[in-house]
Amino acid sequence: MVDPLDVVPTPLDVEGDLKQILHELKRWEALPLFALRALPSVRSWAPPPEKCRDFVGKPTLAVSNAAIRQRIEEAITRIVLEEDWQALGSIFTFDKLTLNLTERRADAAVYRKETSESFRKKNEEILLRVLAGEMYRWELEQALRQIQLFAQTGELDTTSPAAGQ
């Protein structure tokens, strides 16, 4: 059996995990979320210095959950269309776990100027795909920056035949 963390997830995998969170927001921290936990930025995440004490003695899962939440919230802020990021912010309300999915959809629908049912049927999946794509794009951008940094410092040999594969 392959360890889920040994496989790089696809944007579709990330979308699936986002859908799980959307539907199980009250208990999202207990969900497996293999794709999100396998993202390099989540696996390598460290709390900011001022928050380090909050994680002392906590299980790795708590750190992973903090990273996932931060990555989702950051990705939402990078969405171009205001109504899209506002709608996504309404359905991923980590600070308001008491709101059920119907209430969160209704809030999101207001920003999209449609009914809650129309949002659920027409736009929710599209927005999840947009969010997953943004998260994945950012991961690739970070990887490219690391490659460029290694190339500039001479730690990456871009002239060897193996580098071109």
Tokens of 99: 């709101």
In sequence order, the 6+-apart residues with CB closer than 8 A to the CB of 54 are 47
pTM of full prediction above 0.75: yes
Query: Per residue of the chain (165 residues), what is the pLDDT tens digit?
Result: 345 556 789 999 999 999 999 999 999 999 999 999 999 999 888 877 777 777 777 768 888 899 999 999 999 999 999 999 999 999 999 999 999 999 999 999 999 999 999 899 989 999 999 999 999 999 989 888 888 887 888 766 555 555 544
Q: What is the pLDDT of residue 44?
A: 86
Exposed/middle/buried for residue 14 (C-beta within 10 Å: 0-12, 13-18, 19+): buried
User: How many whole angstroms separate alpha carbon 109 and alpha carbon 117?
Assistant: 8
User: How many whole angstroms separate alpha carbon 68 and alpha carbon 36?
Assistant: 7
Distances (CA, A) of 118 to 2, 59, 74, 82, 124: 40, 40, 26, 19, 9
Q: What is the pLDDT of residue 2?
A: 41
Q: Report helix, strand and coil shares of the chain as percent, to nearest 5.
A: 75, 0, 25
